[in-house]
Amino acid sequence: EIVLTQSPGTLSLSPGERATLSCRASQSVSSSYLAWYQQKPGQAPRLLIYGASSRATGIPDRFSGSGSGTDFTLTISGLEPEDFAVYFCQHYGSSPRTFGQGTKVEIK
């Protein structure tokens, strides 16, 4: 089973600032199968990035993903008020499709 570890646990930033979220895998993950999700309170997660770097339909270009092997990054280039939420990474190539524990991006 691939274990995904996200850091930091919480990121306190102001609107307009850049957010950099990390996801580290316990073993190499095919970049084709690494995703990032955003979740707001009381809502289902929303797919942001798939294949490590491809934006899902309708996702603003301030969201970008990068990385390969065991290290992946989600970057939000300038935080908008609606971006304050919890973010999860996931590998989805095979079961179990494990998730990281999440990074909360909160308003400073």
In sequence order, which residues have a C-beta less than 8 Å from that of residue 40 and are 6 or more positions away?
A: 85, 86
Given a contact cutoff of 8 angstroms between Cβ atoms, the answer to whether 46 and 38 are in contact is: yes
Instruction: Pick between residue 17 and residue 92 the one whose CB is nearest to another protein.
Output: 92
Q: Rounded to the nearest whole angstrom, what is the least distance from the CB of residue 39 to another protein in the complex?
A: 8
Whole-number Å distance between alpha carbons of 10 and 63: 18
Q: Which is nearer to another protein, 97 or 108 (CB)?
A: 97
Q: Give residues in contact with another protein (CB under 8 A).
A: 32-33, 35, 37, 44-47, 50-51, 54, 56, 88, 90, 92, 95-102
- Compute the distance between CA of residue 95 and CA of residue 100 in angstroms, rounded to an integer: 14
Write down the least CB distance from residue 40 to another protein, Å.
Answer: 13
